[in-house]
Amino acid sequence: MKPIEIYHNFSWWLRYTEFGLWWYHNIEWPFLYPFRCFFNPRHKKLRKAIPKTWSDSTELIRDINFTLLTEFYEDEIGGDKGCQEQEKLNREGNKNSKWADFYNQLSIYYNYITEEREKIEEALNNSYPEKPAKVDWLEWINQPHSYEKRYKKVIEIETYLKKRDTEVLTWIIKNRDGFWT
């Protein structure tokens, strides 16, 4: 008999006996799972966050972790409604629950990632100074002490953005146990 015929003829035995459970988990599952994952990959949003071109590691770390946070907030908890329900359950069970604080911070950082950060990046793009019409670009940039004066607003916004991103990333790492549902 071929292995497939054995499976079809004795499938009840393979599923409901001790040997059958061993066979199902140790032989069939490892062979089928990679194919299932190939045709239906896990963490689809995370895969979309990784660019198809070259990207710096610092940007990848930020983008992947922000995507993980947004995916957890939207899919696993259920957005604002799910967060409010979780906070309510945690507050009813324990008045000083650390998880209620976790969900509060989670919603704050989710709003930062999805709304505030886009506005800050738009302000950053609009804060670059315009080049004068008749001046050569290299001469204009290389004038003494002109870079810090002209790009003062850009430097301030970039510094604030980096500080805020670091705050969110460190919070994600410190509270990684809360992302388990």
In this model, does residue 2 exceed pLDDT 60?
Answer: yes
Residue 172 φ then ψ, to 5°: -60, -45
> Do 69 and 151 have their domain in common?
yes
Q: What is the pLDDT of residue 78?
A: 77
Give dist(CA 157, CA 89) in Å, integer: 39
Residues 117 and 137 in one domain: yes
User: Rounded to an integer, what is the distance from CA 16 to the centroid of its chain?
Assistant: 40
Distance of CA 40 to the CA centre of its chain: 19
Count of domains observed in the chain: 2
Tell me the residue range of the domain where 24 lies.
3-39
Same domain, 11 and 91: no
Statement to judge: residues 35 and 112 lie in one domain:
no
65, 69, 64, 24: which is closest to 48 by C-alpha?
64
In whole angstroms, give the CA distance from residue 75 to residue 171.
20
* Amino acid 147: pLDDT: 74
Q: Residues 141, 72: one domain?
A: yes
Highest mean pLDDT pick, 12-21, 71-80, 142-151, 154-163: 154-163
Burial of 103 (0-12, 13-18, 19+ CB in 10 A): buried
Q: Are residues 10 and 94 in the same domain?
A: no
pLDDT at 69 over 90: yes
Which comes out higher in pLDDT, residue 74 or 90?
74
Assess whether pLDDT exceeds 60 at residue 95: no
32 and 52 part of one domain: no
At residue 135, the pLDDT reads: 67
pLDDT at 126: 93
CB 73, CB 107: distance < 8 Å: yes
Lookup: tokens for 181: 């549902």
Query: Quick one: angle between helices 152-174 and 57-71, nearest 10?
Result: 60
Contact 71, 46 (CB under 8 A): yes
168 and 133 both lie in a single domain:
yes
pLDDT, average across residues 128-147: 71
Percent of the chain with pLDDT over 90: 31
Please tell me whether residues 61 and 91 are part of one structural domain: yes
Tell whether 23 and 106 lie within a shared domain: no
pTM for the full predicted model: 0.68
Closest C-alpha to 124, from 152, 164, 166: 152
* Residues 94, 77 share a domain: yes
Residues 48 and 35 occupy one common structural domain: no
**156 vs 179, higher pLDDT:** 156
Rg of the chain on CA atoms, in Å: 26
pLDDT value at residue 63 = 93
